[in-house]
Amino acid sequence: MTLLIGVSLVFGALALYPQILPVFEWATPVVLVFWGTSRFYFFEVDDSLTSAGGCLLLLGGFTLAAYRFVPMDDLTGAVAHLIPAIGIFVELFANHHRDHD
């Protein structure tokens, strides 16, 4: 129910204020960069899996921002979307191992 209300609010805001669309487009890369940076702030570089996840999240945020800023072909766009997905997977995997150790 919460997800449905949140999605409805986002689409409602986009319908009423279409000029807010760039904010939503740029929110994803910014969140990925902050998430990757927080991995180094909270867990430092002691765990190599967490460091790899943080680096991939940072790289994914920058590549996604570059994809939004500079027009790219289809293959480069696919790689720009694949890096954040791999970074999220590695971070979830690292989180799983932190919880079980």
Give the tens place of pLDDT for each residue, 82-101: 999 999 999 999 888 888 86
Q: Which residues form the domain of 84? A: 23-100
Token couple for 33: 């960069």
- Does 60 map to a domain? yes
Q: What is the pLDDT of residue 32?
A: 92
Q: What distance in Å separates the CA atoms of residue 5 and residue 2, rounded to the nearest whole number?
A: 5
Contact call for residues 64 and 80 (beta carbons, < 8 A): yes
Q: What is the pLDDT of residue 39?
A: 86
Across the chain, mean pLDDT equals 88
Q: How confident is the model at residue 71 (pLDDT cuts 50, 70, 90)?
A: confident
> How many domains does the chain fold into?
1
Most confidently modeled of 15-19, 48-52, 58-62?
58-62
- Does 55 map to a domain? yes
Contact call for residues 26 and 65 (beta carbons, < 8 A): yes
What average pLDDT does the segment 48-73 reach? 90
What average pLDDT does the segment 37-50 reach? 83
- Does 66 map to a domain? yes
- Does 82 map to a domain? yes
Read off the pTM: 0.78
